[in-house]
Homo-oligomer: A and B are copies of this chain.
Amino acid sequence: MTWYIRLWKFVTLAHGAGGKETEELVRNLIVQKVPPELWKVGEDGAGLDALDDSALIPLGGGRYLAVTVDSYTVKPIFFPGGDLGKLAASGTINDLLMAGARPVAALDAIVVEEGFPVEDLNKIVESYVGTLAENRVALIGGDFKTMPKGQLDGIVIASMGIGFTEHPIVDRNIRPGDKIIVSGYLGDHGAAILAAQQAVGVDLGVESDVKPLTDLMLPLLDRYASYIHGAGDPTRGGLAMLVNDWAEKTGTVIVIDEARVPVRPQVKEYAEMLGVDPLSLASEGAAVLAVAPEKAEEIVEFMRSLGYEQASIIGEVYEAKDPRHRGRVLLRSVTGGVRILEPPSGEIVPRIC
């Protein structure tokens, strides 16, 4: 194996936090083991080489299948603004939408601890199924297993999504000149979970933003598919991880205007109190888009007309003039200074999603 093994003998919380360490582990421990010809299906498919929110398989005739899978382990399972079921359904739907796909079906694999209350399971399934149904996504299969008492803390849901598109969105299409747009307040989910995990109850007055973005993304894709070069939902690792990912994948420099990033004052204060960068906090109902500059203002207006009133242009993609700057994200702060926005590392919040 690689240098990786030499550095780490045991898996840490940071490895699963969705930041830099997760990316390193996935690249070194998983991607490297797969022969490159098996990273994707079809010449113009997208798979391990892309590591986007969904993988894409060409079906011929310009049609693509989008597929995604994630495990959800959030704690507490019922939190302000949502629960594990809504989280799993929303995450699955959003991952498909961010690939430019129309979500059509989901499958779930549920593992629960022996002794888990049937009433709680019932509520979670109701929420999962209900969220899918509201978005006209079929539930076409699944799996159910139990682990003996003491071997699992509660419940884990793996949720898989299937969608179709003729205009796939893949991060590698992001290019210099593109404007970066966010659909609304960032970090609400992360802050809400963080507060709910405190032993002493913290009433932040902020709920998780968890929701499927179907009502935003389907109209956007209908109208502007060819102008949207990149789309992602800033879940684990937040905006900081997402834009660093984009910059790295495309070898560009992304500049974010801190003053224009919508973050609720309570979220900002709470994050600062805990010494966490609010831009690293997860959202579960927000989209970040990279769009052609000539349509950026119009797209923001359209998003606002759909009820996403905080939609804003928050930054821009630049060509890296100096090769040493390739893949960097710069944050232009409120005071005018510029600093590097690093991808988050370390353990931010365990079991956030």
Contacts and interface: CB of A to CB of B under 8 A. Distances in A.
Interface of A: 1, 4-5, 8-17, 22, 25-26, 29-30, 33-35, 38-41, 45-48, 51-52, 54-55, 57, 59, 65, 67-71, 73, 75, 104-105, 107-119, 121-122, 125-126, 129-130, 132-133, 136-148, 150-153, 156, 158, 160, 162, 350-351
Contact of A5 (B48, B51, B119): B119
Contacts of A5: 118-119, 122
B71 A143 contact: yes
In the complex, the 9 A-B pairs of residues with the closest C-beta atoms, listed nearest first = A16-B146, A158-B158, A47-B140, A151-B153, A55-B140, A71-B109, A55-B141, A16-B145, A38-B138
Given A108-B69, A118-B11, A57 B156 contact: no
A18 to B, nearest CB: 8
Nearest to A153: B151
A108 B69 CA distance: 7
A162 to B, nearest CB: 6
Contacts of A10: 114-118
B38 A133 contact: yes
A54 B146 contact: no
